[in-house]
Structure 1
């Protein structure tokens, strides 16, 4: 029960009861409420400067973790860029040069991306600059890897062609050294055995007993195996590809061919046998090499099965201007 308060009225010389006014009560309540709210607001702001809520501490830790992850990711990208740079340098200075391919310029490998803004979604944040920089570095690395992958695909194809080229070049002697009687005539001007005039001899003549095996000097496809070319008698032509063709003439009369037209042969396969058909003075093999339809000196293509000493002896014999056998 609330207490009743009185006050002394000097005019009536008596005590009078204090009457409470509702207006004053509401004013006090309102003043107390505003003061409490203001005090609470000030206290919260002051406290937040010295004390962090669990949620704030969690968000702060996550932010620090993201910053650390961003830094480590940038370092990883930098390391990858160094590795790719090393591969690119080897690609240009070793692989592409070896296979006669033009190097790829740095401008092509490291060019950026034009056109629309690819990183608009990453703008407007505290770490936008770092994130956009990292994203741009990753995109450039992806492009460099794609270019390098395409280059390696090209190198692989060139390597296959190079391997095929090395196997196709006429690179061995068509008659084994142990089967030879002698190297009768080489490439160059020689005396014709029939009319005794000096004329150019476009091949090399290897004397050997009739029936001596003749070997394909490189991989290829048999283009001709007939006697329908004047002077050559029974002969074989092999198309090696890459502009190379080899010719084997004056093969024997009976069963001269060990291959048929259109057959694919390997270097070292027996394709026919020494004879003396056509315009020939004695059993021997007349051998020619063509490059892009031009006859070239076969002496340059015996590196596949001759020792340096054997090659020097063959070279010396081939340079003697004597009477050819065809």
Structure 2
């Protein structure tokens, strides 16, 4: 029960099952059909949030977790269409490849060079990105007046990391430092950002090692953790805990039930820190608006998502 109302979408219609494009059940008559594709995808809380939204809108819908391994997206897309999907969300590692495979790109997708939301319109794949706007709404919600950010360190330059980096030229920041496990990816992103930024703020690229992290974090106001580190219980911290000091703010773009290790450690060191659950909420609500053409029932979606994650709203 929440607010005196049982969440029926938590008790029926939402399962923990993970499908593949070839194991999806037959489509329910009269229902809209969506899903989240990625690898790994078993942890995703998108189904409970999206089904809560559709239920509040009075629309019968299905929403599945669909595992598609890296390198398998191009062959999987025709199978998703054959299975009757009306759209889907993309998570790691498919956002860049989904951009390439989309036939129509929204302005948000073109800015991000990435797609996390697909809508099938008359058989054509329309790609959008709600990541950057979802991130900015989440930040404004938890830390009012935090945008534009000041000195920003971006850890991870693929997927959501490069999407946030491409968004920053539109709002500005004091400085941006890029660090990636593959330094060539950071250099490539730097090269692509430079004409967008001009002389408005400096961009630095550093190799991923402790000395560089120590110097960079001492000169950083906002750390954005945009790698996949933390999705698995056994993952190490992305940065040594000794380097985390207030007034540094830490935003971890991933999420887990409970909180990520980075968030727990950063708070223990006295830093303000949040994980990506709020970002998931807002980007998911924006996806629902694309699919439905109606305002998303944000309060309902938040309650369902946070209850599933074991959090307070």
User: Normalization by structure 2: what TM-score?
Assistant: 0.23
